[in-house]
Amino acid sequence: MLRPTPNKMPAPPLTCPLERCLGFLAGAWTPRVLWFLRAEPRRFGDLRRDLVGISAKTLTARLRELEELGVVQREVIPSSPPSVQYELTALGRRFQPVLDAMIVVGKELAGESRAGSLPRRYG
């Protein structure tokens, strides 16, 4: 009979930072919003065209949530009619290497790339 071996890793804290981050990235449309904002600030209408299939209501809700978390910054541009643009904050830009690493691993899981290759840059 095999004896169970104790786990060498302690139990994760109740508010595990990894689970918090993964939960954040699992939010509807969140990775795609981060993707399209990584190169430059985007106006609401441009983001809506970038995110094919998203409704204005859903995009507004997601952007508000990202703004509350300090990941996205909203700027009202005085024009007629007024325009709003969004850009990543310093915290939002810190997700770039995370997304790049996830792309590499995702390709490896799908058998699309060799281990150790650099991620292809999109957009």
Report the length, in residues, of the chain.
123
Residue 13 lies in a domain: no
- CB of 34 within 8 A of CB of 88? yes
**pLDDT over 90 (residue 122):** no
pLDDT tens track for 88-120:
999 999 999 999 998 899 999 998 755 455 555
Structure tokens at 18: 């990894």
What DSSP state is assigned to residue 15?
A: T
Query: Considering its fold, how many domains does the chain have in total?
Result: 1
Q: Is the peptide bond before 6 cis (omega within 30 degrees of 0)?
A: no
CATH number of the domain bearing residue 76: 1.10.10.10
In a domain, 119, yes or no: no
- Is there a domain that residue 8 lies in? no
User: Which candidate, 122, 66, 67, places its Cα nearest to that of 99?
Assistant: 122
> 102 lies in a domain?
yes
Share of residues in the chain with pLDDT > 70 (%): 91
Q: What is the pLDDT of residues 34-74, one digit of tens each?
A: 999 999 999 999 999 999 999 999 999 999 999 999 999 99
User: Residue 13 — pLDDT band, cuts 50, 70, 90?
Assistant: confident
Which residues span the domain enclosing 26?
18-109
**Is 122 contained in some domain?**
no
